[in-house]
Structure 1
Amino acid sequence: MKKRMLGSTQLEISEIGLGCMSLGTNENEAIQTIHAALDSGINYLDTADLYDFGQNEEIVGKALKGRRDQVILATKVGNRWTATQDKWTWDPSKKHILQAVKESLRRLNTDFIDLYQLHGGTIEDSYEETIEAFEELVKEGYIRHYGISSIRPNVIERFVNHSAIQSVMMQYNLLERRPEEFFPLFEKHNISVITRGSVAKGLLSNNWKNKLSSKGYLHYSEQECKEIIEQLLQITQDEQSLHSLAMQFILQHKAVTTLAIGARNKEQLMENLNAYYAKPINSQQLDRINDICLIGKYEEHR
């Protein structure tokens, strides 16, 4: 599998990463899926302390026993479950980050985290305190690099201009092209985009008909989704599918380093890998995609 550099670091990350949130709590099945991902050449695993109340990190830690050196390991911080575990609160404070990282390290059974990401962010946050915490963790060796997971323009611009972030995780796909507004900025500062939601909750997969919903997707109605998908299907060629078209489109952007794609089991993992290795899209298809799928712009949090 091809690899790309993470920001200005020396870390090479596989173009397809495993988003671990979808793994679930069946430990044996989750570990088998992680091992299958590693055996396929995937070296980027992305989790968060929020997922399954920390159990997701624990499963990842168990799966990496004896294989930690094969992985670029990423997790996230900033959310705190309440005592009743029925909701979480936002806490990007230095105190919380310095405490939370130790718990993540314990659950992941590792001495360091390759990429520690702020799991959100608002313009009201004391960002100087958050950045100070990350920088302190880098100096102490608990983390190698840090980034943010956000689609809020004002938060993104603040961290790009005032911190040493190496990555921004963003929801990005053929139906959600608003992140492209920031790609030139990221390229200028050598910051990597890590994408999530690559197949738009299954709307851009081979199972798209069953994923259509009366709620639509983002600002698209159900009918609009159907019309766009049908147009995209018309431009696929032999050895291509809607799924592969969706993934190949994202990877043609230089700003993108990896697609953190979820998989509940080995079967879903293989579907993603087959789509990745399918016939690449060509320039004519890209032109048609630009006609079919509008870029748009974030209107809030500016």
Structure 2
Amino acid sequence: MKKVQLGKSPLMVTPLGLGCMSLGTDKRKAQAIIETALEEGINYFDTADLYDFGLNEQLVGEALKRVREDVVIATKVGNRWTEGKEGWRWDPSKAYIKEAVKQSLKRLSVEYIDLYQLHGGTLEDNILETIDAFEELKQEGFIKAYGISSIRPNVIREYVKHASIDSVMMQYSLLDRRPEEEVLPLLAENNISVVTRGPLAKGLLSENWIDKLSEQGYLDYSETELRALLTELKAKFTETRHLQEAAIQYNLAHKGVTSIIAGASSMEQVKENVAAVRAEPLSKSELTFMEQLAKMNKYEAHR
């Protein structure tokens, strides 16, 4: 699988990364999924200190120990578990970030983290202080690059303006086109990589879409609208592509999208995601069809 530069950093990542949140807590199963990803050529693994109270980082670190220098390990910080671990609170302070990174390094059993990401962010944060923490960690050699995981355009703009971030992770799919007009051009212009998550829109953009429909719909789509759209989309690609393939290629067709982080709870899912990434890119007519079919959503609440 080819590798692409992440922002302006020295990191080279595959266009598909493994989202490790869905690995579960069974060590043997997690190891098997990660091994499958490695065999398929994936070099990019994304976790967070929040997942399973840090156990996810530990499992990822153990599974990747033998190939440490060949992979890109990304984790996140900012959500702080309460003392009783019944919930968490937001803490983007410099003091917390610089302490939390030590715990992540320990759990991952690594001397440095390739990509350290702020796991959220609001305009009420002391953003300059947060940036200072990441810059110091970079200078001290604890991280190679840093970014944010956010879908808030106003927050993203602040980090683009004041920080040397190399990536922004955000939700993006054919059913969630909110980044297209407001965020993707900004990040591409500043050579900041977009790492997308949720390309299958909770399974709606897969062959099993009919089982994923609910009365709640999805974002600003009603159930009726989704049924009509997905029926037409399925008909279009019946003889040429699986819906999952079309959905993933839709993400990769847009300028600035460097990699897709896709979760997998089985080895089969890893292989399906890899096959979708390796498929032929969307033709101009296929892309136009999809864009004309789906709404151009806009960010409203997330600011």
- Give the structure-2-normalised TM-score: 0.97
Partner of 1:8: 8
Cα distance between partner residues in 2 of 1:75 and 1:217 = 28
Determine whether 1:189 maps to 2:195: no
Note closer, same or farther for the CA distance 1:301–1:239 as it changes in structure 2 (3 Å cut).
closer
Between 144-153 and 292-301, report the one with greater CA deviation.
292-301
SS in 2 for 1:195: strand
Residue 274 of structure 1: how far off its partner (Å): 2.2
Cα distance between partner residues in 2 of 1:274 and 1:206 = 14
Cα distance between partner residues in 2 of 1:135 and 1:275 = 36
Note closer, same or farther for the CA distance 1:301–1:261 as it changes in structure 2 (3 Å cut).
closer
Cα distance between partner residues in 1 of 2:281 and 2:192 = 25
Residue 231 of structure 1: how far off its partner (Å): 1.6
Matches within 5 A, 1:76-155: 76-155=76-155
The one-letter amino acid of 2:269's match is Q
Deviations 1:200-236 (A, max 9, x none): 1111111111111122111211221111111211221
Cα distance between partner residues in 1 of 2:94 and 2:249 = 39
Partner of 2:28: 28
RMSD: 1.1
Cα distance between partner residues in 1 of 2:151 and 2:125 = 15
Residue 275 of structure 1: how far off its partner (Å): 2.0
Task: Tell me if the contact between 2:40 and 2:271 (Cα under 8 Å) persists in the aligned partners.
Answer: no
Cα distance between partner residues in 1 of 2:66 and 2:141 = 21
The one-letter amino acid of 1:15's match is P
Determine whether 1:17 maps to 2:13: no
- Provide structure 2 residue ranges, at least 5 long, that are not aligned to the other structure: none
Deviation >4 Å, runs of 4+: none
Residue 76 of structure 1: how far off its partner (Å): 0.3
SS in 2 for 1:116: strand
Determine whether 1:261 maps to 2:270: no
Residue 187 of structure 1: how far off its partner (Å): 1.1
The one-letter amino acid of 1:252's match is A
Partner of 1:206: 207
Between 289-298 and 252-261, report the one with greater CA deviation.
289-298
SS in 2 for 1:201: coil
Note closer, same or farther for the CA distance 1:215–1:237 as it changes in structure 2 (3 Å cut).
closer
SS in 1 for 2:298: coil
Determine whether 1:238 maps to 2:239: yes
Partner of 1:67: 67
Note closer, same or farther for the CA distance 1:213–1:301 as it changes in structure 2 (3 Å cut).
closer
Task: Tell me if the contact between 2:168 and 2:193 (Cα under 8 Å) persists in the aligned partners.
Answer: yes
Cα distance between partner residues in 2 of 1:126 and 1:271 = 41
Residue 296 of structure 1: how far off its partner (Å): 2.1
Determine whether 1:215 maps to 2:216: yes
The one-letter amino acid of 2:267's match is K
SS in 1 for 2:65: coil
The one-letter amino acid of 1:196's match is R
Task: Tell me if the contact between 2:151 and 2:302 (Cα under 8 Å) persists in the aligned partners.
Answer: no
Matches within 5 A, 1:277-288: 277-288=278-289
Cα distance between partner residues in 1 of 2:82 and 2:224 = 39
Cα distance between partner residues in 2 of 1:32 and 1:77 = 26
The one-letter amino acid of 1:245's match is A
Task: Tell me if the contact between 2:169 and 2:197 (Cα under 8 Å) persists in the aligned partners.
Answer: yes
- Provide structure 1 residue ranges, at least 5 long, that are not aligned to the other structure: none
Task: Tell me if the contact between 2:253 and 2:281 (Cα under 8 Å) persists in the aligned partners.
Answer: no
SS in 2 for 1:190: coil
Aligned residue pairs total 302
Task: Tell me if the contact between 1:16 and 1:258 (Cα under 8 Å) persists in the aligned partners.
Answer: yes
Cα distance between partner residues in 2 of 1:35 and 1:202 = 24
Deviations 1:78-111 (A, max 9, x none): 0011122221100000010000000000001100
Cα distance between partner residues in 1 of 2:277 and 2:241 = 10
Cα distance between partner residues in 2 of 1:247 and 1:269 = 13
Between 108-117 and 228-237, report the one with greater CA deviation.
228-237
- Give the structure-1-normalised TM-score: 0.97
Cα distance between partner residues in 2 of 1:221 and 1:179 = 20
SS in 1 for 2:195: strand
% identical aligned pairs = 55
Residue 190 of structure 1: how far off its partner (Å): 0.3
Note closer, same or farther for the CA distance 1:301–1:32 as it changes in structure 2 (3 Å cut).
closer
SS in 2 for 1:200: coil
Task: Tell me if the contact between 2:47 and 2:76 (Cα under 8 Å) persists in the aligned partners.
Answer: yes
